[in-house]
Amino acid sequence: MSKLTHIDETGRARMVDVSDKAATVREAVAEGFVRMSAATLDLALAGEGRKGDVRAVAEIAGVMAAKQTSSLIPMCHPLALSKVEVRVEPAEGGLAVTARVKTTGPTGVEMEALTAVSVACLTLYDMLKAAEKGMVIEAVRLVSKTGGKSGDWSA
């Protein structure tokens, strides 16, 4: 097992020092899913909910969340994001959420992509809960990441 970078030699939590790392182009893709009934999915796709177009609002919420990741996750670095794209698309049994985040810098954007997906899924739940409280947010995961010292990775 590799050493945990956010824990120092004495076991204390720390923010990793990235000042000596090269700035490289980095990108991460994450996904998640909100499982719901066919009736709730139809309501979401109609774009006429009482709170507005639920897919559009969730996509905007995901972008906003990616930009706030360092305020939410204690050891994350604030990053200048060059791209955040969040998509909410219909899929069998619910709505699939995908986030693609990009930067040029000394550390990756995996947490930003995961945060974008998580908040987009939570926003979908919030906007549709009047129709169905039993929706399930599931399968939030990193799909791929590129750049940096550790190189490229995909699920």
Active site residue ranges? 126
- What is the rounded end-to-end Cα distance, in angstroms, of the chain? 19
Q: Residue 53 and residue 11: Cα distance in Å, rounded?
A: 46
Residue with tokens 């923010």: 15
26: tokens are: 């980095």
Secondary element (H or E) of residue 146: strand 136-146
Burial of 62 (0-12, 13-18, 19+ CB in 10 A): buried
Q: Residue 45 and residue 58: Cα distance in Å, rounded?
A: 13
